[in-house]
Amino acid sequence: MEEINKRIAQKKADYVRYNFSKVQNDILKTFFDLAQEYSTLEDFYQISVAVLQEFMGVEARLYLANDTPHELEFICDSSHGLQAPGVKAPEHIILCDKMYAIDGAFVVPIISKMMQSAPEPSKAKELLQGMLEVEAPQALTSQEQFFLCKFANRIGFNLYNRRISIQNIKHLKFINTLVMDIEHNVIIPNMYFKHLFNRIRAKIRDVEDLEKKMRDMKNAIRMDRSSCENIITKVSVLHQDLIDYHQEMLRHHNNCSLFLESLFRRDHFEKGHLVLHSKKCFVEKEIILPQLEHFTRRLEGQGITIERPTDMSAEQIPLRVDIGLLSQVYANYFSNAVKYAEVIIDHAGRPRKALAYGRKALPDYFGVGLPGVKFNVFTTGPHLDSEDAAALYTEGFRGKNSVRQAGTGHGLTFVSQVVEMHGGEAGYEATEEGNNFFFILPVDEI
């Protein structure tokens, strides 16, 4: 409390020394009131310049630093409001930590809260948020210039806090989305381990029963040769089953490890959004086939035939993609195939329940000389109605055919997000005998 009282006394003395006029005090009060009343950054930008024009009769312009080091963007002015995004500041507006005058205008630095609280000359430009230009019809007094510096400081404090608040909100939204990604792509599939453990336990019990039978036979006075051969055969089958389950568990573990690595990267949490770790990749060999192998037993368990293309191996197209995230795209498509593929009667009059995958080159899809590749995952079944098809990649959406299936409605939203991060687009189309879920990626120069 002693420290706070000391600061209050200092501020009281400061305001006496500042000797702000009634108009200047009204500017600050109006600015603070409206800054609390309006919540968006765009409104805040306009308040910052409009309040000066209203009270002082001056033209004010706001310039803020963008992602390019030391480059300023023209944000808004007091006469025309917000500018179009990407408009650069005129040449006479320079990012610096001192106020300067030029051609009847005063240009004042907008300093971040961090810089005001702990200024370091070596980092001054890094902490500058922008510049405030005030074009006055007559020369400003030294006291008015001092007031503009203080007013620009108030803009800097508020802008810093608003940006931090927006960044925190984005981070929280990202973390919430990431939690859903982890639940959908890792935790739920990881429950399959329990299923595998139970199957192995059952096999182990069968081996234990056979061991007991063999011990009983050993103790018998006479041993039936055919019975022994039968037991040996069963033990061999059980042994191979255990090996197969062990290999499946290893594949499942490797798959979960890949998904965990791609979802728990430090970059995601530092940036507040998914960050790609791209590398040269043959999509079928390194992504599709490992995921298909992972889902084969479940697809076959639902009576779904896997129809493989004949052209992807012969003519592979190398792409630069994030293998971990794109693998989860296919995992979501294949998981949905297990749930929703249905039997249809094909053109030859035979029943068909199938999953097929493939790809198609699309020359100039993203513009002249900018080709794309369309990756398809087809499943048999009735077509989605137009309403479901339009909302398919929307967060939380579950179609009319999903009532009896467990799910969160997040999987295809994740698909769309990852594909768009790669510069592509995801979609759906009704095709003969079923539904095609696809995404299109640009072919970059490798």
**Average pLDDT value for residue range 123-129:** 64
b (16+ CB within 10 A) / e for 157-187: bbbbeeeeeeeeeeeeebeebbebbbebbbe
pLDDT for 257 equals 79
Give the C-alpha distances (Å, rounded to integers) separating 415 from 325, 410, 411: 9, 9, 6
pLDDT for 446 equals 44
pLDDT tens figures, 407-434: 556 789 999 999 999 999 999 999 999 9
Task: Give the Cα separation of 16 and 144 in Å (integer).
Answer: 15
User: Global pTM?
Assistant: 0.55
User: Strand, coil or helix: what is 446?
Assistant: coil
Task: Give the Cα separation of 383 and 428 in Å (integer).
Answer: 10
pLDDT tens figures, 357-389: 999 999 999 999 999 999 999 999 999 998 888
pLDDT for 52 equals 92
Q: Indicate the DSSP class of residue 123.
A: G
Tell me the residue length of the chain: 446
**Average pLDDT value for residue range 17-37:** 90
β-bridge pairing 351-352 and 344-345: antiparallel
pLDDT tens figures, 266-286: 788 777 788 899 999 889 889
- Residues of the chain above pLDDT 70, percent: 86
Confidence band, pLDDT 50/70/90 cuts, at residue 328 = very high
**Average pLDDT value for residue range 335-340:** 93
Task: Give the Cα separation of 441 and 322 in Å (integer).
Answer: 12
pLDDT for 187 equals 61
Give the C-alpha distances (Å, rounded to integers) separating 127 from 73, 115, 121, 347, 410: 16, 6, 10, 68, 39
**H-type helices in 187-316, by residue range?**
188-190, 192-219, 225-263, 266-271, 283, 289-301
pLDDT tens figures, 174-230: 777 776 776 666 666 666 777 777 787 788 778 878 777 777 776 665 556 677 777
Which amino acid would we find at residue 301?
A: G
Hey, which CATH number is domain 2-169, 3.30.450.40, 3.30.420.40, 1.25.40.10, 3.90.1150.10?
A: 3.30.450.40
Evaluate whether the domain defined by 268-442 bears CATH number 3.30.565.10.
yes
Q: In terms of C-beta distances under 8 Å and separation of at least 24 residues, what long-range contacts does 238-243 make, across chains too?
A: 238/203, 238/206, 238/207, 238/210, 241/203, 242/200, 242/203, 242/204, 242/207
**Average pLDDT value for residue range 59-86:** 88
In angstroms and rounded to an integer, the radius of gyration of the C-alpha atoms of the chain is 33
User: Strand, coil or helix: what is 239?
Assistant: helix
Confidence band, pLDDT 50/70/90 cuts, at residue 233 = confident
